[in-house]
Each structure stands twice: as structure tokens, then as C-alpha cells.
Amino acid sequence: MNPYIQLYRPVNNIMAALAVVSAAFIASGMAIFTLWGPVFLASLVVFLFTGGGNALNDYVDRETDRKNHPERPVPSGKIRPETALHIGILSLALPALIGFFINLESLLIILAAEALMISYEFRYKKRGFAGNIEISLLVGMLFLFGGASAGNPERTVIFSIMAALATFGREIVKDIEDMEGDTDRTTVPKKIGKEKAAFMAAGAFMAAVSLSALPYERGFGPIYLVIVSAADILFFYTSYLALTDARKSQKMAKLAMLIGLLAFIFGGGLQIL
């Protein structure tokens, strides 16, 4: 893979952009087709923001990644650390400029997200729990941002909460996976042990699952229920794996989150149609 593409991790960025589109769809219904301009700009903002966060992450973690992720462009020597930093700064600066062309609510969310991202990378990442909370908030804000770009963020609050909870669980599992290489971080597994951390992650996954029926009760149709049930089953399995295989668990959590996103998209769309 081209090292610059690998640095940007476009698959994650596309998933984040899809979350914004799905939230805009949920917030506006068929009116989304008249809001294609703001929604497209919001998707572009999230693609750039996520890529910038990935680049900044690889710059900050360049030493620990020599052990945890030696295949990444910076620790492998394919990209200079300074180059990753410059890409990260530019990719985080552009969204703020684009936000002026969406609306005020969206711009405020962008600025808040950028403050969270910078404080996470340069301060709270090493503090474990606080960093996990910040990343979870950032993912949850994707849905609020999508709703704001369509002028109705209130309709996306429950989806924001579910996404934040699932992300928190996955962040804990990732910390379990990277426990040996995280020599400069005080993560949750280091503080309370792998087993208790795994139970904490499982609790976050189950909390997200417990909320997943609420959209169905509020009008989302049976298609939503079928797809989100598949995601819920995977989250149950992910919770079990958190206790036995952290690496597999975090990958399964990502798959479950993708299926959950599809449930939001198809459920919201069919509800409107």
C-alpha cells in the first residue's frame, strides 16, 4: 500500500463519512436531497478530520509504534515524522475553514472536535481513561455533526450515545491488545488489570446494545431491527472475546459497528420512505 494512503487510513475515514451521511438522512428524511451541498461538505470535513487525526496519531505514537505497529509508515521509515505532523495539521485546519460554508452549529462542533483531538494526542492519550472518553466523544459527535449539517441534530442524539459507548468498549480492548507496548501510557488495563478492563469493555458494548431498540420504538421499521440485531449478536460475541482474545475482539467490534451503521442507514431510510 502507498505509505501516504496507509497513513491516512481511508477505510476508517469513509466509515466516518458514512456515519455523517446516515445521521443527516435520519435528521432530514427525503429533504437530504435538497441539502446535498451541506451534507457533502460535512462528509468531506469528517474525511479530512479523521485522516488528519490518524496522521497526528502516527506522529505522536512513533516510538511506541515501533513495537505495537511496526508496519505503519512512520515507524517503518517510509514517511518522516515531520511529514506526518504537517499532513495532520493541514488536514485538521481545512475542516474549520469548510465549516464556515455549512452552518454555525456545524462549525461549533468542528471546533470542539478539533480541541478534543489536539488535547487527546498531546495530553490525555497517555492518561488512559480520559483519552478513551475523548475518542468516544469524538465518534459520538459524528452523528451530532451529521444531524447539524441537515439542521436537526436532536434526532441523532440516541445514535450518538450508542456510537460513543461502542467506541469506548473498543478503545479499552485496543488498550488490552497494546498493553505490552504501551510503555509511556497509563491505560485502564494497566491500572486495573486485563480482566477487569475486559469486563469494563463488555459493559460498554452491552450498554450500547441495550439502547439499540429505542429507534425501533420510535418508528424505525423491522428492517432496522433485523440488521441491528445482527450487530447486537456480534457485540455479544465481541464482549466474550474481550476476555479471551483482545486482538480479535477489537476487530469484531469494528465489524459490529459497521453493521450497526448499516442499520441506521437502512432503518432511517425505510422509515422515511
Q: What is the CATH number of the domain that holds 40?
A: 1.10.357.140
Q: What is the pLDDT of residue 216?
A: 85
Q: What is the pLDDT of residue 50?
A: 94
Q: How many CB atoms are located within 10 Å of the residue 263 CB? A: 26
Q: What is the pLDDT of residue 183?
A: 65
Q: How many CA atoms lie within 13 A of 102 on its CB side?
A: 30
H helix intervals, the chain: 3-8, 10-28, 36-60, 65-68, 81-99, 104-119, 129-149, 157-177, 188-192, 194-211, 214-217, 222-244, 246-272
Number of domains in the chain: 1
Among candidate residues 170, 171, 175, 174, the one with its CA nearest the CA of residue 257: 170
CB 72 within 8 A of CB 87: no
Angle, vertex CA 21, rays to CA 16 and CA 27, nearest 5: 125
Query: Mean pLDDT per segment of 10 residues, for the chain of length 273 residues?
Result: 88 88 82 81 96 93 83 92 94 94 94 94 84 93 93 90 95 86 77 91 94 85 89 93 88 91 74 49
Give the separation between CA 100 and CA 91, rounded to whole angstroms.
16
Q: What is the pLDDT of residue 47?
A: 96
Q: What is the pLDDT of residue 268?
A: 62
Domain extent, residue 61, equals 3-272
Cell of 136: 468516544
Angle, vertex CA 188, rays to CA 75 and CA 182, nearest 5: 20
Q: What is the pLDDT of residue 273?
A: 46
Among candidate residues 56, 73, 65, 52, the one with its CA nearest the CA of residue 2: 73
Give the separation between CA 183 and CA 10, rounded to whole angstroms.
28
